[in-house]
Structure 1
């Protein structure tokens, strides 16, 4: 299973489309963790699984999304409903309730991945307004039966080596 994960693009259209187009032949699924500030039918979100962020208005998107791909259950939420800027505990409870092996979230604009209680948590950062780093980031999660790798990229496609994680 290979997933492109992006979040907090805050109205960017062409840049979002470029990222998706760059990886369209190498990933199985596209995930946007909210705050796209676009409508569900927008050209840049075609074929992308999107959840609603605190800056997304209307009822276009679900608050959370769960999918099982190749025996991997992925849980996606924006994170604002779980207070992710302060703690990951409420998010971890929800991910465990959903039986997720991977939990994706945004909201904080802080890129990073970690593992806790056999769940891998992934925040792709932001391609518009990153925090704690200068790079505008997204990531690709590649999972096999023996390893999960989360590779972070700058918006232009350059790998951010020090953020890459293996679990």
Structure 2
């Protein structure tokens, strides 16, 4: 089974990023930006990472494309695509790079939804969540494109039950 841990908008937190890495053993870790840490910090070690609007080091890329098993992940923060307005610009970009799964942050609003044949995942924020009290991150797991699950966790490692999402691509 493939799995990817997705974190975003940690805004300077360090212990939480280390705890998440110790707690899980996925195929990959992804950080969708606004870590406010140095790209080479130990806390971001092992994460595929992008820069957000609060990350000023030019070593952070604006986006990354990662192949994990049979899925292509597009990772960006979201501020360059106006994700607080809607996902249209982000969807166009994800289609251009032929991504199956789109990981982004910026809004601090956790959620997962399928639009056409793409799965959009915003893990929320592990520091300053919006629209709910839980400080969250997400884990996407799959064996095949026909059986994909997104599970949200709080910073204590507990499943946020009402946010679990299942789909097929």
Query: Structure 2 length normalisation: TM-score?
Result: 0.96
**CA positional deviation for 1:20:** 1.4
The alignment of Structure 1 onto Structure 2 pairs a total of residues equal to 165
Cross-structure match for 2:45: 46
Cross-structure match for 1:159: 159
**CA positional deviation for 1:71:** 1.7
SS in 2 for 1:16: helix
Matched-pair contact (CA < 8 Å) for 2:78–2:90: yes
**CA positional deviation for 1:40:** 1.2
Cross-structure match for 1:89: 88
What does 1:47-86 correspond to in 2, within 5 Å?
A: 47-86=46-85
* Unpaired stretches in structure 1, ≥5 consecutive residues: none
SS in 1 for 2:23: helix
SS in 1 for 2:125: coil
Moved more, 38-47 or 120-129: 38-47
Quote the Cα distance in structure 2 between the aligned partners of 1:60 and 1:44.
16
What does 1:5-154 correspond to in 2, within 5 Å?
A: 5-23=6-24, 25=25, 27-145=26-144, 146-154=146-154
Instruction: String of CA shifts for 1:13-62, please: whole Å, max 9, x gaps.
Output: 01111111111x3x100000000000111110111100000000121211
**CA positional deviation for 1:117:** 1.1
Matched-pair contact (CA < 8 Å) for 2:75–2:103: yes
SS in 2 for 1:75: strand
Query: Structure 1 length normalisation: TM-score?
Result: 0.97
Runs of 4+ in 1 over 2 A off after TM superposition: none
**CA positional deviation for 1:160:** 0.2
**CA positional deviation for 1:129:** 0.1
Quote the Cα distance in structure 2 between the aligned partners of 1:154 and 1:69.
24
